[in-house]
Amino acid sequence: MMFGTLPSGERVERFELTSGRLRAAVLSYGAVLQSLEVSGVDVVLGLDTLEDYLTRSRYFGAVVGRYGNRIAGGTFTLDGVTHTLPVNNGPNSLHGGVEGFDRKVWTVADAGDTSVTLTLTSPDGDQGYPGALTASVTYTVDGDALRIDYTAETDAPTVLNLTNHSYFNLAGGGDVLGHELRIGAEHYLPVDDDKIPTGELAPVKGTPFDFTTAHAIGARLDGAYDHCFVLDGSGDMRVVEPVSGLTMEVTTTEPGVQFYAGGMLDGASTPYGPHAGFCLETQHFPDSPNQPEFPSTVLRPGERFTSTTTYRFPA
């Protein structure tokens, strides 16, 4: 169905997906997951109008790219060529730049009752990134699970880090500081004052970053988390809302997850206040193009990027 029209005249569509206890809404603008109802409780932060997404969004529910997370100084060198990106987060380039994938209208490739596939072509030089890139994202609801599948191909060497930037609140309101979180990660990435990884893979044991056993998001650091965790094995995560018992289990093919506790939501520039939602952005590591010891985010012609993340809500 029609959701709105951009000043450019581009139409934005809205798709509803239903299976079992789940009901999701996806927008063609930013490939946004606008809502995700679990037995009638909307567990993601969404906005009501297209104008709100244009002016009041902190990437709510969007697919971010070409490179999710931060690239230090807005520059990286690939095959001996230095590329300059727009900076939009202090000295850094964040989530693909000023006009990243979250600000684009994606093309609808396929839509049905339980899934929708959206595609986007990013031209060579888009936000400073080399290579013409074709990306797709498919949202599928199946029983008690929402699955997000990503693919991408390029005609020239480039870097790529796609993720979904949904904010979750399993209570459907209030703050998330009491939510109990477990992350299957023995290490995390310390960051400098500009939130760029120092390059160290630090043990979580004995630190506020130890979520190997579940504890409340607000129990340590006052919930001031915005860090990448190095996932172990299947990359499993689990969140429980202690009052209702509603549980979300997350698995991913990605090597890391950026856990952000929503501390920079201010209730003024966005409709939501601090800690109204948390993010588990499954992804490769921040600033990987400048840190060759990190898992590579380089995509070359003839290769096909694939990634899958599943959010399951067991009864």
Residues annotated as part of the active site: 165, 281
CA distance 7 to 106: 16
Q: Nearest CA to 16 among 112, 108, 119, 136?
A: 112
Distances, alpha carbon 9 to alpha carbons 3, 6, 12, 49, 96, in Å: 13, 5, 9, 16, 24
The verdict on whether residue 150 carries a ligand-binding annotation is no
State the DSSP H helix or E strand holding residue 54, giving kind and residue range, or none if neither: helix 50-55
Q: Which residue has the tokens 């993010």?
A: 279
Neighbours of 313 (CB within 10 A): 21
Residue type, 248: M
The verdict on whether residue 167 carries a ligand-binding annotation is yes
What is the SS3 assignment for 95-109?
CCCCCCHHHCECEEE
CA distance 17 to 1: 12
Neighbours of 209 (CB within 10 A): 22
CA distance 194 to 89: 9
Beta pairing partners, 228: 258
Contact at 8 Å (CB) between 34 and 43?
no
CA distance 197 to 128: 22
The verdict on whether residue 122 carries a ligand-binding annotation is no
The verdict on whether residue 93 carries a ligand-binding annotation is no
The verdict on whether residue 161 carries a ligand-binding annotation is no
Contact at 8 Å (CB) between 305 and 153?
yes
State the DSSP H helix or E strand holding residue 52, giving kind and residue range, or none if neither: helix 50-55
CA distance 259 to 279: 6
The verdict on whether residue 226 carries a ligand-binding annotation is yes
- Residue ranges for the known binding site are 69-70, 165-167, 226
